[in-house]
Amino acid sequence: MNRKTVDNIVAIDAKNRIVTPINGVRKNKYVGLFYFAWHGQFGAQRKVYDVTKIMRDHPDELFTTDENSPIAPLYNNYYFNEPLYGYYNAADPYVIRKHIELFIAADIDFIAYDFTNSKIFWQPLYTMLELLDEYHEKGWNVPKVTFFTKRKCDILISDLYNNIYGKNLYPHLWFTGSGTKPYIIAVKEDVPEDIRDFFNIRYPQWPEEAFRPDGFPYVEKVRPQRLYTNLVNVSVAQHAGGAFSWSLEGPHGIKRPSWGRGYTSEKPENGNIEAIESGCNFEEQWVNAISMDPEIVFVTGWNEWIAGKWYKPHLQAYGNIPYWVDSFNTEFSRDIEMTKSKGYVINEEGKHVEEGYGDNFYIQLIQNVRKYKGIWEGITHAEPKKIDINDVHSWDDVKNIYLNLSTRKVERDYTDFTCINNYRLPKPRNFVTEIRVSDDEESIYFFIKTDEDMVLKRHEKSNLVNLFLGFDIKDKNSFYSYKYVVNRYPGDSTTSIEKYENGFVKVGDAEYRVDGNIMQIKMPKALFGIKDEFDMHFKVADSVENEDDILDYYVSGDSVPMGRLSFLYSRIKQ
């Protein structure tokens, strides 16, 4: 059921791009993500600096050379924007769980930890390995792990070997590709000779260096990208100008533009908001990679978020200007992980009051992963069956089963980037483990199972075991594609069905029954205007705090599946 659950995830993003179902994935095709674990691990910085917010509120302070500036001091790490999960600590197990679930849904095969700063962040790494193992034990195809190092990392590589590989720690989580040896991105001469044959060693290809067939690039500064034997890099944006910040303020007052999120070969320009929000650069990179059909696509990146503000006035090439290299602001950065802001918002004065991209790049990632390695033939439609909701055994032979990608009910209570404040979220009241769906000529049926006895009423809350569904994923007059919500206002034997018409209004009732941890729902097809053949996308959500914000369905409570993602129940014959 785990594979079928992922295959039947569908979605539509803010740009009306649709994720469609697949029938499994091709063998020996791998997608990896550049992954970062440094947030809150340096220990010294006790304040968050956010370039996007500083540019909006204190633009004249951003490039100050004052080390003691209260707004933008030198030699600190700066976020390019606020992440959806907040300015989190990389060891936060709640966030790591969310990352794993997002990766499972996207069919990500491996993550490559960025240890190019010659430091291993052990606590985030051990937490990740422990949790990956937990999800693996539940049958999920979790991403495997490898490490991206650089020159003069011999001590670091020895530490990784001695503490992970040498101890045979989670060998099922080592990324080997189609071979048998675990990958490591490293300079061969830096790998101790006695363990050199243990690894599949790939050279850490820097974009300024001469091309090497055995290279493993984290970014390409040429268009289109090149094939490195069996591997192609795909990146969200490229710091082709040297440092991303030089796109705004360059050495000696001369801008050196990079290739931002909206830049393409066809339209080689920056600043187009629609192109930035749509990830036109990212899309072009994917088109190129898919056309080459390599064994591995390595994507940069997931969650870099921060870069240091540096200043080298004694070096002529840098000029008398501070700079940020690998990440700067919303346009000139290369993360896929969601921003708290859904997009760019301009006020009446023509000023940006908000900048971001929401989950656009994540949804874009899922669909391109499916274009690259998805199998589209043989997709089957659901098998219908009449259900008696007074007999739970009516469901025993129903095969339309969808599972929660999460493993168990958890709360969030962990320190943030500064290691001063904690992010806190309560456990959801009901944790959904399984959903089944069926229909007959007159009705649609749902079976919802939770880990404990179900609670539908609590302190006037309307956010317990809500069933969202729609029959046209492109419907613009809907709640993020969902036309109906069921069970916000349950009675004793019937519960509410509400329809979205510029807001939800009640249009009917559904029959339901709860027996311990199982809820069964029966709804009339006539109310939805459907007959025999239809596509229905749906999700079940519980304890989501900001019910009107679709991005909070990635964050709080229990949403099955997360965020904008839905499950598909299709009765349209292929």
Mind giving me the DSSP string for 377-418?
A: TTPPPPPP----TT-GGGGTT---EEE-SS-S---EEEEBTT
Contact assessment for residue 92 and residue 412, using Cβ atoms and an 8 Å cutoff:
yes
The answer to whether the Cα torsion of 323, 245, 207, 297 is positive or negative is positive
- Where does CATH 2.60.40 sit in the chain? 392-570
Structure confidence at residue 348 (pLDDT): 82
- Tokens representing 162 are 């001695």
Give CA–CA dist 138/172, Å, rounded: 14
E strand map for 427-534: 432-439, 443-450, 466-470, 484-490, 494-500, 504-515, 518-524
Structure confidence at residue 446 (pLDDT): 98
Give CA–CA dist 372/395, Å, rounded: 36
Opening angle at CA 514, ends 513 and 519, nearest 5: 90
* 55 membership: H or E segment, kind and range: helix 51-57
Give CA–CA dist 508/232, Å, rounded: 53
Give CA–CA dist 36/146, Å, rounded: 12
On whether the pTM is more than 0.95, the answer is: yes
Contact assessment for residue 197 and residue 161, using Cβ atoms and an 8 Å cutoff:
no
- Tokens representing 76 are 């600190």
The answer to whether the Cα torsion of 488, 410, 406, 519 is positive or negative is negative
Site of tokens 């009675």: 491
Give CA–CA dist 570/559, Å, rounded: 21
Cis? peptide before 561, omega within 30° of 0: yes
The answer to whether the Cα torsion of 253, 258, 262, 268 is positive or negative is positive
* Architecture, CATH, for domain 2-373: Alpha-Beta Barrel (3.20)
Cis? peptide before 301, omega within 30° of 0: yes
Opening angle at CA 517, ends 511 and 519, nearest 5: 15
Read off the amino acid at residue 355: E
Contact assessment for residue 341 and residue 355, using Cβ atoms and an 8 Å cutoff:
yes
Conformation bin of residue 24: beta by default, left when phi > 0, alpha when psi is -120 to 50: left
Closest CA to 247 of 347, 358, 321: 321
Structure confidence at residue 459 (pLDDT): 76
Structure confidence at residue 500 (pLDDT): 98
* 185 membership: H or E segment, kind and range: strand 183-185
Cis? peptide before 224, omega within 30° of 0: yes
Closest CA to 219 of 122, 304, 143, 290: 304
Q: What is the dihedral of CA 361, 366, 368, 373, to 10 degrees?
A: 160
**C-alpha separations of 190 from 26, 99, 146, 147, 279 in Å:** 35, 31, 16, 14, 37
Q: What is the CA radius of gyration of the chain?
A: 25
Number of helical H runs and strand E runs in the chain: 9, 28
What is the DSSP secondary structure assignment for residue 2, as one 8-state letter?
H
Structure confidence at residue 353 (pLDDT): 85
Structure confidence at residue 378 (pLDDT): 80
Structure confidence at residue 558 (pLDDT): 98
Q: Domain 392-570 - what CATH class?
A: mainly beta
Structure confidence at residue 115 (pLDDT): 95
Read off the amino acid at residue 76: N
From first to last of the 574 residues of the chain, give the pLDDT tens digit. Answer: 789 999 999 999 999 999 999 999 999 999 999 999 999 998 779 999 999 999 999 999 999 999 999 999 999 999 999 999 999 999 999 999 999 999 999 999 999 999 998 899 999 999 999 999 999 999 999 999 999 999 888 999 999 999 999 999 999 999 999 999 999 999 999 999 999 999 999 999 999 999 999 999 999 999 999 999 999 999 999 999 999 999 999 998 889 999 999 999 999 999 999 999 999 999 999 999 999 999 999 999 999 999 999 998 877 778 889 999 999 999 999 999 999 999 999 888 878 788 999 999 999 999 999 999 999 888 878 888 999 999 999 999 999 999 999 999 999 999 999 999 999 999 999 999 999 999 999 999 999 999 999 999 877 789 999 999 999 999 999 999 999 999 999 999 999 999 999 999 999 999 999 999 999 999 999 999 998 899 999 999 999 999 999 999 999 999 999 999 999 999 986 5
**C-alpha separations of 402 from 293, 417, 448, 539, 541 in Å:** 31, 35, 10, 10, 14
Give CA–CA dist 536/435, Å, rounded: 14
- On the CB side of 574, CA atoms within 13 Å amount to 11
Contact assessment for residue 430 and residue 421, using Cβ atoms and an 8 Å cutoff:
no
Beta-strand pair 215-217/200-205 = parallel
- Where does CATH 3.20.20 sit in the chain? 2-373
Contact assessment for residue 485 and residue 566, using Cβ atoms and an 8 Å cutoff:
no
Read off the amino acid at residue 488: R
Chain CA centroid to CA 164, Å: 26
